[in-house]
A and B are shown apart, each in its own frame.
Chain A
Amino acid sequence: MIESPTITPPQAAVPRGRALRQGLLANPLLTVGGALVLLIVLVAIFAPLIAPFPGDAGTATHPFQVLKPPSAQHLFGTDQVGRDIFSRVLYGARVSPVIAVIVLAIACAIGIPLGMAAGFLGGWVDELIMRVTDIFLAFPPLLLALALAAVLPASLTSVTIAIAAVWWPWYARLVRGQAASVAGRPYVEACRALGVSRLRIIFRHILPNSATPLLVQISLDVGGVILTASALSFLGLGAQDPVPDWGLMVAEGQSYFTPDWWLVTYPGLAILLTAFAFNLLGDGLRDLFDPKRSFLP
């Protein structure tokens, strides 16, 4: 390539104002993903208003409307106890994404401080934390979450704890990498020489630099957590009836699947769409913040 010496910035500057708007327009993934995510969030918030049968998300049963195919009254049909599947799917938007948020919040709460400590302090602290994360990362995510969820009483709480316990190592690793690279920079050494406290360095230099990769990772992970959580519920380890969890709905509908396809199809489609939306968003954010990547050749 035409070699002209350039100084690449340590981290892509977060584009603001017009640059941000242009970035959004040029980035169809981000816009579509963002729009879909917004839609899902709105559905979750306004579910009680949109759902035609809000009671069906709870303990209501309608023995005379059992297993009815999709119709004008029941857009997605009814399930084995007569509940409106459309309403339950809408209410399901309050379950999965919320679990994902909580899981990732916990993962960050544990992972970020540990990662900071490891990257910034180095030495045996770093070694110890890295070996521990190595061991946790040796388990495929669903596996350890499964083992944990299997030994804990089946509930959404157990699932949340199980997945969070599995997810924090990624964030520890991510932050540790950022912290280690920033800690090695000359200006940080200068700060230390001047007597700036470690805490201040962490908050003023390391955190801002880690913000964008963290944000990208989080939005990419939401999809993964939702898939893992619904898988655990599908296996019976998570949400229990009557919670309108999408994974649980697929599991419950499995026995009726062959003639009554709608019990499984719509909740599963909801999982797919939600994971898809968050993955699009995450991908779009990554494209936006990473200076090297572009659409143009």
Chain B
Amino acid sequence: MLVFVARRIALAVVVVVGVIVVTFAVAHLVPGDPAATWAGPHASAAQIARARRFLGLDRPLVVQLFSYLAGISRGNWGVSIHTHRPVLSDLLTAAPASLELVISALLLAVVTGIPLGLISARRPGRPADQLIRAGSILGVSMPIFWMALILQLIFSQRLKLLPAAGEYSPGLLFSHPLVKRTGFPVLDSVLGGNWAMLGSTLDHLILPAVVVAAYPAGLIARMVRAQVLDTIGDTHILNARALGFGERQIFAGFAMKLAWTPVSAALALVFGYSLVNTFLVESIFDWPGLGSYAAVSIATLDTPAILGVTLFVAAAYVTANLVVDLVQAAIDPRIRLR
């Protein structure tokens, strides 16, 4: 087991290094001369040359790459052209909001997707199954930015049921100040016993979480259905039935237990996918997370920031995959006994 863990972690590190290299490569695709941009439009050739030396751009690319790698590991992810702050600190400030959104969305997706998938698998071909299948496919076909706008229109503007934007009602900050401990508003409300704020944060979380949950829910429902139908004809299922287990236990117990391995792999996948999806909806919901940061960086062509976000999300994705792999190995003996 230890060998497995060590090997997986080593692989993850290799991949992260690869990710950094690719990000570096993308950074150098920027057309134009960074030194000239930095030096300004009226700089002389000599000033530009001096700028190039100053920025370290005259060194061979390989040296620049190593210096970039070294910088990343030391926490120097560059400075944002727009905010003038270190990119890493910007990212760490913005990350909790996005993580809160993504985790809530994934929880929602799991809680809806798995039961729907099981219902679908129990009576394949019947109306409930067709409906759920169509719904799942709709979920994975949804343009997320559009869904956000439409839901905002319906539930905020027209029906006035849910708040349109923000993590919580700013007005509440005066009567029920929120103490920042973890950076996650929901957690901070619970930890501080701030129930009014908790209500507000949950209220504000609903629409964005539902929007981000659409794709994962559809994916999980389809996957559970496929996996369960795949295994339902297996001998051990027949054996379980012959032992007297009821249909519900067969599906939700035996069949589902086998499905957890691919479903958890899918969870890592949709974690990364959803984290990027937040880029599209955060500006719509005024959600102060990585997505808003990325949207602003794109609009201001803030290259260091864009690359910092890319690196951050990719690293988070690799980590999520690693965690899932390790959890899978703990649960499913077939993986670690290979």
Contacts and interface: CB of A to CB of B under 8 A. Distances in A.
Asked if the two chains touch in their complex, CB atoms less than 8 Å apart, one says: yes
Interface residues of B, number: 63
Interface in A107-161: 131-132, 134-136, 138-144, 146-148, 150-153
Contacts of B117: none
A223 B145 CA distance: 15
Contacts, number: 155
A279 B299 CA distance: 32
Contact of B141 (A142, A148, A153, A279): A279
A200 interface: no
Given A139-B314, A235-B295, A250 B145 contact: yes
B276 A146 contact: yes
B30 to A, nearest CB: 5
28 contacts: A1-B234, A3-B235, A131-B18, A134-B18, A135-B15, A135-B19, A135-B21, A139-B19, A140-B273, A140-B314, A141-B273, A142-B276, A142-B279, A143-B310, A147-B306, A150-B301, A151-B29, A151-B303, A152-B29, A236-B299, A250-B146, A254-B149, A264-B149, A264-B150, A275-B142, A279-B141, A283-B133, A297-B124
A194 interface: no
Interface string A173-213: 00000000000000000000000000000000000000000
A138 B141 contact: no
B125 to A, nearest CB: 4
Interface of B: 14-16, 18-19, 21-23, 26-27, 29-31, 123-125, 130, 133, 137-138, 140-147, 149-150, 153, 157, 226, 229-230, 232-235, 238, 272-273, 275-277, 279-280, 284, 294-295, 297-299, 301, 303, 306-307, 310, 313-314, 317-318, 321
A265 B306 CA distance: 30
B310 to A, nearest CB: 4
A132 B123 CA distance: 42
B15 A223 contact: no
Given A140-B272, A250-B149, 4 more contacts: A139-B314, A146-B294, A151-B306, A279-B140
B29 to A, nearest CB: 5
Contacts of A268: 143, 145-147, 149-150
Given A140-B273, A268-B150, A271-B146, A148 B29 contact: yes
B301 to A, nearest CB: 7
Interface string A231-275: 100111100000000010010001001100100110011011001
